[in-house]
Amino acid sequence: MKRIGISACFFHADPQRPIFKGKTLLYLERSIAQWVMDAGALAYLIPAPAHGSPVTLDDLVAPLDGLVLQGGSDVAPESYGETPLKPEWSGDAVRDRYEMALVTEFRAQGKPVLGICRGVQLVNVALGGTLYQDIPTQLPGSSQHRDWEVYDQHFHGLSLEGGLRHLNAGRADTRVNSVHHQGLKELGNDLAVEARSSEDGLVEAVRAVSGPWLAAVQWHPEFQDPADPSLFDGRLLLKEFLDHA
């Protein structure tokens, strides 16, 4: 079986938290692990080695066949050379550095990378791109990309291009869920757009045009019902990723 590493989400040390007081927690959302395992691959959470540890990222990546970047906290504006427009959009620069190092190491070892939601934003920033810190604020008139009350049951139309359109049997129009408030602004180096929101044209998926296989999407395919024919079937993209692993 293929061995797929999944980047960790962080709960940073919090002296007020009632469990693991003052400790840093690394966690994995269950759906993303199950999505990978349902495709017949093994899922492993990748820890963040402490400074000075004899175990390096190179050691952690070597036995794995590919990387999935899971969703979660905002990407920190400082990671793409900006300051937060609001304190609540400060993001998680510690996680950014950890995941950007993972992307670099997996690609250095010639292994594929698949980004999900925050993952597409992280990939874009890792390759020199920038983000909208908050879509409604910076793109007045844009469509709604996040509804906290319904969360992953909020959907919008999607227009596919390139490889994603090929995976979708040549059909350009589909739908996906949408739970993000940040989005891609300036595209990173060597990335091609593969999907846009059909309502406002915001970039929703990218693919590397050179180097090891890399693709990333703004939605959460692991949250979608694969039996719903109106939605893009994320298993197609997962299969392509695993075929390159």
Whether pLDDT at 50 is above 90: no
Distance CA 129, CA 152 (A): 26
Q: Residue 172 carries which side chain, given as an amino acid letter?
A: A
Domain ranges across the chain: 3-244
Query: Are β-strands 42-46 and 214-217 bridged in parallel, bridged antiparallel, or unpaired?
Result: unpaired
Task: Provide the CATH number for the domain formed by 3-244 in this structure.
Answer: 3.40.50.880
pLDDT band at 70 (very low <50, low <70, confident <90, very high): very high
Tokens of 191: 């990335």
Please confirm, yes or no, whether 29 is among the known catalytic residues: no
Q: Give the CA-trace dihedral at 94, 97, 100, 102, to 10 degrees.
A: -80
DSSP, collapsed to helix, strand or coil, labels residue 70 as coil
* Stretch 181-189: mean pLDDT: 98
Which of 9, 222, 240, 244 is flagged as catalytic? 222
Please confirm, yes or no, whether 222 is among the known catalytic residues: yes
* Stretch 68-79: mean pLDDT: 97
pLDDT digits (tens, 9 = 90+) for 103-153: 999 999 999 999 999 999 999 999 999 999 999 999 998 999 988 899 999
Tokens of 67: 């990387």
pLDDT digits (tens, 9 = 90+) for 230-239: 999 999 999 9
Distance CA 187, CA 60 (A): 29
Q: pTM, whole model, 2 decimals?
A: 0.97
